[in-house]
Structure 1
């Protein structure tokens, strides 16, 4: 639960936009200057034509005509070069800023301390891609907005010098257009935010379905899964249609209002020329500006829409970037040795469980209820914040709440029963950091040697995403090899052999005991082979320790234990 104080301290989307602008202030300044020169040059072109016509009709000088053509060539050159270099600067800044936000969102998702975010991984992926790109657009939008404004102001001043009424008409028309479009731009922002949320939910649904694809095939749930995704995707489609309608209404309104303003300027200039209040050159300039001004007006009127879209995406990024950590880790380090103590822990199905594992002991935990095993593994893996459960977990004599995250991760590894397999090679899955010295021993202990020998590439055999080209038993042994290769002080294995045959399980149990000799090892399991290989077995029933001893002692003295683990 997020407290009101934490909620108030969260970073809003406007702060993210300000950060992006501040970080790219130099590039945006240069881009604004160059794009302003481009727009000024574009505006100067019809003004120059009007002056040329006026001057030529009065003086009819060949030299003046040549000079005018040279001036037009200079204007065209300025327009071309300023556009080329201005857009290069702005687009480079835009893509760089988008990259920065993508990396920052990804870094938040990969932090060892989870954040209090009610989002699935697929939603975070959308935020790290589409929302990051749209947020970075602010770097390009602001200079374009300013340069378009410069163009409109130059046109208004030029027309005002010809006749004050023309200049006032442009300014009043621009204000009216922006006033109308600002209402629609707010609607676009809220609609876009909702669209991104629905697209993210659809992405999260796809990620969930891909993760559970094998079980879905197993019990024939493919069609139901398809219908579930189709419903979520249809919601995203409907919202996309709504956004498209709003965007269409915005674009149509903007185009129509701009055309009305251009026609009004042209007609007013024609009437003034007919009445003799302005000259032919002023008329040419006015008509040219009326045609030209539609483009900067279009850009100028489009920019509020992109600002609102960037704001909506920034607000979604703030959900991740400003979310508080679920726990505040300490700064201490555990004493060397690797002893582990669970002292009266109450969480979920755990009802005051209490036991300790001396340094160097191989302890097996037989939990009669799967929920008890899952909750114990979650507590030991620090997936549950220390202040979220009663009791204390101590590592090396220090409470987990006092230890830094780095220290906990360095000394304890909890390997889940469903450990992820990544696209890459067997070697990169076993030793992701490339620093382990126990890769051969881990491969042998996990009985992964047959998989390595099966392929001529050996450990360099390519593994597909989520290990889709490996069997369930091969994936489980690969995950076990990765855990063993870390050679951590305290290793906790949760059901590491559920997908392997009985003969292989016997060998794996014996190998784990041998490889981990002298290192603290805890195995949460109901496997007779692993229970028999352990130095001591703790029995968890109804969330507390009900018995302990060796596997064979418990078989001889505890009938319930024998019925639970014998198979």
Structure 2
């Protein structure tokens, strides 16, 4: 069964997975943190025993040396167990967070998209903050158990002095947890809503950054900022609500813990005054009453962290448990086959039919820009084959019968707005470092002048989204990357709209030369690229209305002349 076909994983299952694959680290962490808490608890017990021995007149260097040695052992145990216990747990926590980040990212990078009603910014938040908070369960459970160890040791020690003291600790702890477990449910609900709103704000920021240049171009940046401010304000208000709920929770926990500690201290004092316990036992009880505040505080905070981890796991399940939008085939086409579009109806395309023979260079002049975008999306398998009528065939085999990986290994569709990444010119053109046609791709795309401008050449630094490049340079860099991939079938969508006519002419010749003998389709209105093609398909109204060479169409088709002549 493939990953996409597995049964959905709810948040609880994600938490169980995290616990199961960190069992070893959690066991060792629990043992060491249990030793730490037991050692902390043993300290006031040891002090009480020392006082008890002193009160009985057991003095001398021997008993003193034993007492000092016992305290040294306790302190050493506390120090080392905390050091190594936290090291183990934090390593497991960090590793588990990394695993979930990778898994969420892997889902986003799958060839077949998942049916998730989330924007990229929301998925980013899930892959970072939610992954970290989900992994916290690996640390929370051992801390919860170790805190319970401290409470149990304290209750037993007090119970040995007087059963009423032990019973008071147990009953008080149970009452505190009952109250706080009810309050933690509200924290979980509030946290889920906060995470959703923060994710929406992150998605809005990602959209704004992606569209910053055009927003500035038509003066829409102020309206866009207002839209983001509204979303961010909603997230802020929810964060304040969560902070208020957390404040009430923590304040209540501290108050209840203080009441229990005071009750133990007063009860021990009354028992000592009534001579039902000794002075040494009173010292132990008072010390434990003060000490028990820390593990009780930690113990009482755990339900809150469990609810936060559960809320984050539920959000991760939105991505991990989402079904794929389509289940592709598993076939693989042979190299050098024809590309056929057979009666495809999708968006602006209406019964579109054409065939590109293996090794042919075909230009497609599309009168409606939206139709060109729809055709590029269909050829790139960005639209599932079952989402449109008709079929696209590669080497005679329908897209629906082929794996998406196989299609994209044979057919590269380079969008008109190809992303430019932070790095260098070289890493943008050849990300894998394996291209055998890098220099030819640079020359064919006329990126040579950009390379020559800089002393570093191809190693010239490129900022995120190509911020230090002009529009034409970014477009040529994207084209160079597509050509360097040297795929069996290359589809270019408006590759020269941002360059001048002379450069466009040189690019057209370079692309035709480099792609000679390889199947190439260019969606364009560029006269240079249309003239360089073996033939031109004219799309109007979503269907092919003419099929001829560029020069014949110029001589015989007036509408074509008006559409492409510059």
Q: Under TM normalisation by the shorter chain, which class is it?
A: over 0.9
Cα deviation, residue 348, structure 1: 1.1
Partner of 1:499 in structure 2? 498
1:9 correspondence with 2:30? no
Cα deviation, residue 535, structure 1: 1.0
Cα deviation, residue 7, structure 1: 12
Partner of 1:449 in structure 2? 448
Alpha-carbon distance in 2 for matches of 1:268, 1:211: 66
Partner of 2:58 in structure 1? 60
Alpha-carbon distance in 2 for matches of 1:43, 1:206: 50
Task: Summarize the alignment of residues 252-263 of structure 1 with structure 2, pairs less than 5 Å apart.
Answer: 252-263=251-262
Alpha-carbon distance in 2 for matches of 1:132, 1:542: 47
Cα deviation, residue 275, structure 1: 1.4
1:232 correspondence with 2:226? no
Contact 2:536 2:549 survives alignment (8 Å): yes
Partner of 1:109 in structure 2? 108
1:379 correspondence with 2:373? no
Alpha-carbon distance in 1 for matches of 2:468, 2:322: 37
Contact 2:381 2:404 survives alignment (8 Å): no
Structure 1 window deviating more from structure 2 (170-179 vs 316-325): it is 316-325
Match among 8, 30, 33 for residue 32 of structure 1: 30
Distance 1:381 1:232, change over 3 A: same
Contact 1:363 1:534 survives alignment (8 Å): yes
Partner of 2:430 in structure 1? 431
Alpha-carbon distance in 2 for matches of 1:468, 1:338: 39
Partner of 2:247 in structure 1? 248
What secondary structure does 1:59 align onto?
A: coil
Partner of 2:523 in structure 1? 524
Instruction: Deviation per CA, 1:318-358: give whole Å up to 9, x if none.
Output: 11122222222212111321310001111111111111111
Alpha-carbon distance in 2 for matches of 1:25, 1:475: 50
Structure 1 window deviating more from structure 2 (329-338 vs 18-27): it is 329-338
Partner of 1:349 in structure 2? 348
Contact 1:528 1:566 survives alignment (8 Å): yes
Cα deviation, residue 74, structure 1: 1.2
Structure 1 window deviating more from structure 2 (370-379 vs 52-61): it is 52-61
Structure 1 window deviating more from structure 2 (219-228 vs 124-133): it is 219-228
Contact 1:335 1:398 survives alignment (8 Å): no
Instruction: Deviation per CA, 1:277-315: give whole Å up to 9, x if none.
Output: 111111111111111100000000001111111111111
Cα deviation, residue 111, structure 1: 1.8
Contact 2:366 2:539 survives alignment (8 Å): yes
Contact 1:56 1:64 survives alignment (8 Å): no
Partner of 1:148 in structure 2? 147
Alpha-carbon distance in 2 for matches of 1:457, 1:230: 41
Partner of 1:321 in structure 2? 320
Contact 1:338 1:411 survives alignment (8 Å): no
Cα deviation, residue 9, structure 1: 3.5
Partner of 1:359 in structure 2? 358
Match among 18, 21, 31 for residue 20 of structure 1: 18
Alpha-carbon distance in 2 for matches of 1:77, 1:440: 65
Instruction: Deviation per CA, 1:425-452: give whole Å up to 9, x if none.
Output: 1111111111111111111111111101
Contact 2:363 2:537 survives alignment (8 Å): yes
Partner of 2:216 in structure 1? 217
Relative to the length of structure 2, the TM-score reads 0.97
Alpha-carbon distance in 1 for matches of 2:516, 2:175: 80
Partner of 1:554 in structure 2? 553
Contact 1:335 1:397 survives alignment (8 Å): no
Partner of 1:394 in structure 2? 393
Alpha-carbon distance in 2 for matches of 1:561, 1:494: 19
Alpha-carbon distance in 1 for matches of 2:221, 2:205: 12
Partner of 1:3 in structure 2? none
Structure 1 window deviating more from structure 2 (449-458 vs 272-281): it is 272-281
Cα deviation, residue 8, structure 1: 11
What secondary structure does 1:332 align onto?
A: coil
Instruction: Deviation per CA, 1:468-521: give whole Å up to 9, x if none.
Output: 000000000100011111111110000111111111111111211111111111
Relative to the length of structure 1, the TM-score reads 0.97
Partner of 1:485 in structure 2? 484
Contact 1:367 1:526 survives alignment (8 Å): yes
Alpha-carbon distance in 2 for matches of 1:56, 1:180: 42
1:182 correspondence with 2:181? yes
What secondary structure does 1:354 align onto?
A: strand
What secondary structure does 1:166 align onto?
A: helix
Contact 2:272 2:282 survives alignment (8 Å): yes
Structure 1 window deviating more from structure 2 (412-421 vs 86-95): it is 86-95
Structure 1 window deviating more from structure 2 (253-262 vs 427-436): it is 427-436
Alpha-carbon distance in 1 for matches of 2:468, 2:19: 46
What secondary structure does 2:351 align onto?
A: strand
Instruction: Deviation per CA, 1:166-222: give whole Å up to 9, x if none.
Output: 111111111110011111111111211211221111111111111111112212222
Alpha-carbon distance in 2 for matches of 1:310, 1:500: 51
Alpha-carbon distance in 1 for matches of 2:276, 2:455: 90
Distance 1:311 1:397, change over 3 A: same
Alpha-carbon distance in 2 for matches of 1:66, 1:137: 43
Instruction: Deviation per CA, 1:6-45: give whole Å up to 9, x if none.
Output: 9993211111111111111011000000100110111111
Partner of 1:169 in structure 2? 168
Unaligned runs of 5+ in 2: none
Contact 1:358 1:520 survives alignment (8 Å): yes
**Which portions of structure 1, spanning 4 or more consecutive aligned residues, are displaced by more than 4 angstroms?**
none
Alpha-carbon distance in 2 for matches of 1:85, 1:515: 61
Partner of 1:537 in structure 2? 536
What secondary structure does 2:56 align onto?
A: helix
Contact 2:412 2:489 survives alignment (8 Å): yes
Contact 2:184 2:304 survives alignment (8 Å): yes
Cα deviation, residue 66, structure 1: 2.7
Partner of 2:512 in structure 1? 513
Alpha-carbon distance in 1 for matches of 2:254, 2:223: 46
Alpha-carbon distance in 1 for matches of 2:119, 2:322: 14
What secondary structure does 2:490 align onto?
A: strand
Cα deviation, residue 254, structure 1: 0.2
Cα deviation, residue 143, structure 1: 0.3
Alpha-carbon distance in 1 for matches of 2:90, 2:375: 51
